[in-house]
Amino acid sequence: MEEQTNERLNKVKSILVTLPKPETDKSPYYDLAKKLNLKVDFRSFIHVESIPARDFRKDKINLSDFTALVLTSRTAADHFFRICEEMRYEVPTDLKYFCLSETIALYLQKYIQYRKRKIFFGKKGITDLTEVLKKHADEKFLYPCSDMATEDLVNIMDDKGFDITAAVLFKTVVTDLSDLADVFYDVIAFFSPSSIQSLYQNFPTFEQNKTRIAAFGTSTAKAVEDMGLIVDIVAPAPGVPSMTMAIENYVKVSNK
C-alpha cells in the first residue's frame, strides 16, 4: 500500500474544486493557491433547481399543518421561504425551527427576526439534533429537502416516534461539463456522491490515471471507491478537519 501511495505522489500544480466559485476573494482555497503556488479552479459538478409551487401542490402537503421545521442546510431554508412566497403563505411567528447546526440557525436571520423566534440547533450532526427534538416530541415536523436527500433523518425520527413529513422543494441536477473534456487537473476534490455521479454521466469512460482524488466525508469516499477509483486525499481526518488542510498536507509531501 505504501509503495502504491509513493508512486502516486507526483507533483501537484493544479486543483479542481467541485464547488461553486466563491463570491469573494476570501476563501481558504485562494490562500492555499497563493501559499503553495498552485492553480485552483472551481466548477460545481451539480446544481440545484427549484420545484415550482404548481408541482409542490401535487404532493398535497398543507404547510399550515406543521408546527415545526427541520433544516439541514441553508439551501433547504432558501427553498422553504421561496415556496411560502410562491404560495402566498405567511409563515407563522410561532413556528419552531430545528437546525442541524448553529451556522444554519444564524442564516435564518435572512428571513426572520432571529431573536423573536423559537430556534434550536444541534452540534454534532443528526444524532445530536434528535436529542434536541426529544424535548419537543409533540410537534408536527416538516423537513424541506431535495429529491436526492438521504432518508437517515426521516428514518431516525420515525424510529423515535416523531411526526415528520419530507417535502421535496428542490432537485439536484447534473451540470454539463463537456467543456472540461480535454482539461487535466492533478487533483480533483469531491464533496458529495452526487458529484461522482456527475463525473461519470459527463465522462462515462473516465480513467483516473495520475489524477489524484480528494474526497470529503465517508459517503463521498465510498462513492469514489465504488467506481473503482483511488482516494488519495481524505478529509476530515484526525487532526485534519478541512479539505484545504488535507490538500495542503498532501502537496507538501508530493511537491518536495
Q: Which domain holds residue 246?
A: 9-45+180-254
Residues with Cβ within 8 Å of residue 256, at least 6 apart in sequence: none
Asked if residue 4 has pLDDT above 50, the reply is: no
Query: Going edge to edge, which strands form the sheet with 68-71?
Result: 46-50, 163-174, 140-146, 68-71, 96-99, 118-121
Same domain flag for 126 and 74: yes
**Of the candidates 173, 197, 212, which is a domain's last residue?**
173
Give the confidence band of 151 by pLDDT, cuts at 50, 70, 90. low
**113 lies in a domain?**
yes
How far is CA 149 from its chain centroid?
A: 10
- Average pLDDT of the chain is 91
What whole-number percentage of the chain has pLDDT above 70? 95
Same domain flag for 127 and 225: no
More confident position, 116 or 224: 224
Same domain flag for 60 and 129: yes
> Over the stretch 48-76, which tens digit does the pLDDT of each residue have?
999 999 999 999 999 999 999 999 889 99
pTM of the model: 0.74
Same domain flag for 143 and 187: no
| Cα–Cα distance, 201 to 192 (Å, whole number) | 15
- How many residues are listed for the chain in this entry? 256
Q: What angle do CA 154, 193, 209 make, to 5 degrees?
A: 165
Q: How many CA atoms lie within 13 A of 113 on its CB side?
A: 5
Cell of 104: 444554519
Tally Cβ neighbours within 10 Å of residue 152.
Answer: 12
> Over the stretch 75-130, which tens digit does the pLDDT of each residue have?
999 999 999 999 999 999 999 999 988 999 999 999 998 888 899 988 766 777 88
Same domain flag for 30 and 76: no
**217 lies in a domain?**
yes
